[in-house]
Amino acid sequence: MTGMNRRDLLKSGALAAAASVTAPLPAAQRSVSDANSKTSPIHFGVASYSLRKFDRAHVIEFLKQLRISDLNVKDIHLPAGNPEETRRAIAEFNAAAVNLSAVGVIYFSKDDDNDMREKFEYCKLTGVHLIVAGPTQQTLPRLEKFARQYDMRIAIHNHGPEDPNFPSPLDVLKAVQNMDRRMGVCIDVGHAARAGADVPEAIMLCGPRLYDVHMKDLADLKVRESQVDVGDGHMPVRRIFKSLIAVGYEGFVDLEYEIHEDDPLPGMIKSFAYIRGVLAGMGYET
C-alpha cells in the first residue's frame, strides 16, 4: 500500500460517497428534465496513471467510488515481463468486474522486432484489443506490421510541444491516415491544446481514426503545469462532447488526472461530477 493508509482510504470513501450525492450541477445544466434524458453515447473510464502512487487494490477500490468500471491500464498496475504476475493482476481486475479497455501508454522507441514482439505478447495476454502507444517516426512502419500481425488497434498518444514525434493529434493523423486501419489516434486534450490544436475540431478531423481520448483540464491552455480539476479550467468540454457525438465516437474518454498524485480522489470525483453534469445539460443520462 502506498500513499494512503486504511483510515485515509475510509475517509476518502466517505468523501466520495458524499460528493456523488451532493455535487451540484452548474445552473445552466439543471434545466434538462430527467424525463427528456437519453443514455449517453459517450463511455467514460480512468487512465490508471492517475493513480500511479497506489497499488492495484486501491485502484479497484477507487474505481468503485468513482462509479467507473473501465480502465486504461498502465504497467505500474499490470506488470509486464512476468506472465504469471500479469495473469494474477488480470484475475484481480476480473474478480472486481473491472474491464481493461486499453493498455498503455506503451513506448515503442526501439526499431526492433524482438522488442516489439515482447510488448505485443504482453498486450495479447491482457486480452485487450487497443494499445495506447508512443512510437517514434522511425518505429511507426514496424509498429504497423505488428498491429496487423496481432490484429491490435493502435492509438498513438500525442504529447504536446515537447514531443519531437507527435506533439499534436493532427501530427498523428497525418502519419497514420494512409496506413492500415488499425493505426489510429489517442487525443490527449491537454497536450493537444498546448500544441495549438482546437480539440473539438481535431476530433472532427480524426473521425473514424480516433480510438481513445484522455481527458483533463488546464487553467492556461498553453501551460502544462496549470492542470486543474475538469471544469475549473478553459478546456471546451461541452464542445468536445458535441464533436465526439457528431463523429459517432465509440471508444472511451479516460480521465487522466495528473495532479495531487498523493491524494487524487477528491479531484477525480469533482472532475467526474462536472463531466456528468455537462452531459446532463446536453440531455444525456450517465
Q: What is the pLDDT of residue 199?
A: 98
Q: Is residue 13 part of a domain?
A: no
Residue 160 located in a structural domain: yes
Res 175 pLDDT > 70: yes
| Residue 285 pLDDT | 85
User: Whole domain around residue 258: which residue ranges?
Assistant: 44-285
User: Has residue 108 got a pLDDT over 60?
Assistant: yes
Report yes or no on 202 lying in a domain: yes
Rg of the Cα trace of the chain?
Answer: 19
Average pLDDT over residues 66-78: 96
- pLDDT per position as a tens digit, 192-209: 999 999 999 999 999 999
Checking if the pLDDT of 84 tops 90, the result is yes
pLDDT reported for residue 92: 97
pTM of the model: 0.86
Domain presence at residue 8: no
- pLDDT at residue 286, as a whole number: 75
Instruction: Reply yes or no on whether the pLDDT at 27 is more than 70.
Output: no
Average pLDDT, the chain: 89
Model confidence pLDDT, tens digit, residues 128-152: 999 999 999 999 999 999 999 999 9
| 82 in a structural domain | yes
Q: What percent of the chain has pLDDT over 90?
A: 85
Q: Tell me whether residue 1 is in a domain.
A: no
Digit-coded pLDDT (tens) for 226-284: 999 999 999 999 999 999 999 999 999 999 999 999 999 999 999 999 999 999 999 99
More confident residue, 52 or 1: 52
Q: Residue 11: count other Cβ atoms within 10 Å of its Cβ.
A: 13
Query: What does the pLDDT read at residue 61?
Result: 97
> Are the beta carbons of 217 and 233 closer than 8 angstroms?
yes
Q: Look up the CATH number of the domain holding residue 258.
A: 3.20.20.150
Query: In total, how many domains does the chain have?
Result: 1
Q: Does residue 193 form part of some domain?
A: yes
Any domain includes 18: no
What per-residue confidence (pLDDT) applies to 36?
A: 63
